[in-house]
């Protein structure tokens, strides 16, 4: 996949100003002339008025251990990763198991822009304009049975293109999980793009999970299968370091990682630190999912 510098397509200042432009355009001929692609870039669904992380940073500072544990090297190592053709199977406890091509997903569910904060456990974060669609729409399509309680996601396993898979510390392929009610929350999306462009390999192309109220390691990349299951799946990180990475991965400033504090974070490109907000600031939408749970024990 050829990488194009973002300013050649959408200068970031123009991108960030489109919301105010649309407000003043009204219903006249100028607004009517906007193409769907321009509307996508307009940022119709904002998660607060926050400064977007530059495209260059989003695409050149990446956690993707299948390529490298060095966040700066991932983009280079992933540049020849094959992202088409690609299929995602949805199986398990569903009435209508199906396999979708990425083209099918994009055509059927019409990804729209959502600007979410993504926070990694190492206490750095980004604000990213994702193009995606609610995971719940895919689940409605396959009709989970009454026994389904969890989703098990699996990343592609391709040693010939992913040099990091030679690291024997981890039990590949990458596996991640969500509770079914978490997956049905409207904030959880399957993303296919950033800044109104297709995802690049280093960002999890061609389709990845984004769960904005959780730490970023829950946002599994390059998904090839989703299985609905009755029992809680064991994620790669739970298996590798159970004291450090729990199933829920909810952003909780009161629960420190065993090796560092989670009380503050630093945005990529900034020097100052920010106070960590519970559930990454999405508590109004998701806190009810965890009523009665001890979020120190269920970390």
For 126-151, give one letter per residue: b (16+ CB within 10 A) or e: bbbbbbbbbbbbbbeebebeeebebb
What kind of fold does domain 44-290 have according to CATH?
A: Sulfite Oxidase; Chain A, domain 2 (3.90.420)
* pLDDT tens, residue by residue, 92-103: 999 999 999 999
- Whether 192 has a pLDDT exceeding 60, the answer reads yes
What's the confidence (pLDDT) of residue 188?
A: 98
Is the sign of the CA dihedral 183, 41, 87, 5 positive or negative? Answer: negative
Average pLDDT, the chain: 87
- Whether 11 has a pLDDT exceeding 70, the answer reads no
Q: Is the peptide bond before 206 cis (omega within 30 degrees of 0)?
A: yes
For residue 240, the tally of other CB atoms under 10 A from its CB is 13
Place of tokens 């926070």: 119
What's the confidence (pLDDT) of residue 123?
A: 86
* pLDDT tens, residue by residue, 28-66: 332 233 233 333 343 334 445 689 999 999 999 999 999
What's the confidence (pLDDT) of residue 49?
A: 66
More confident residue, 10 or 125: 125
Out of 45-59, 160-174, 215-229, 268-282, least confident range: 45-59
- Whether 253 has a pLDDT exceeding 70, the answer reads yes
Q: What is the DSSP letter of 75?
A: H
Listed residue (197, 240, 239, 237) closest to 214, CA to CA: 237
Query: What are the extents of the domains in the chain?
Result: 44-290
- In angstroms, the CA 261 to CA 272 distance is 16
């Amino acid at each position: 996949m050829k990488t194009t510098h973002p300013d050649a397509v959408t200068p970031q200042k123009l991108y960030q100003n489109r919301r105010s432009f649309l407000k003043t355009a009204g219903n006249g001929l100028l607004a009517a002339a906007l193409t769907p692609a321009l509307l996508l870039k307009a940022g119709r669904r904002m998660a607060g008025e926050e400064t977007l992380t530059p495209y260059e940073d989003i695409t050149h500072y990446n956690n993707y251990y299948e390529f490298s544990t060095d966040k700066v090297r991932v983009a280079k190592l992933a540049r020849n990763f094959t992202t088409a053709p690609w299929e995602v199977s949805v199986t398990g406890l569903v009435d209508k198991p199906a396999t979708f091509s990425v083209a099918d997903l994009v055509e059927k569910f019409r990804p729209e822009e959502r600007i979410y904060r993504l926070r990694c456990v190492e206490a750095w974060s980004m604000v990213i304009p994702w193009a995606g669609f609610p995971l719940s729409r895919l689940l409605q399509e396959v009709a989970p049975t009454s026994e389904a309680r969890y989703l098990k996601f699996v990343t592609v396993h391709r040693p010939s293109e992913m040099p990091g898979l030679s690291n024997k510390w981890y039990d590949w392929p990458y596996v991640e999980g969500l509770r079914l009610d978490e997956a049905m929350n409207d904030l959880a999306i399957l993303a296919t793009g950033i800044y109104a462009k297709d995802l690049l390999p280093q960002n999890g192309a061609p389709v990845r999970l984004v769960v904005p109220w959780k730490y970023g390691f829950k946002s599994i990349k390059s998904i090839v299968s989703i299985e609905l299951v009755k029992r809680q799946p064991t994620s790669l990180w739970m298996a590798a370091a159970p004291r450090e990475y729990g199933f829920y991965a909810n952003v909780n400033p009161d629960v420190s990682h065993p090796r560092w504090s989670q009380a503050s974070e630093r945005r990529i490109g900034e020097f100052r630190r920010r106070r960590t907000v519970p559930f990454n600031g999405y508590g109004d939408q998701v806190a009810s999912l965890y009523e009665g749970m001890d979020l120190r024990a269920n970390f």
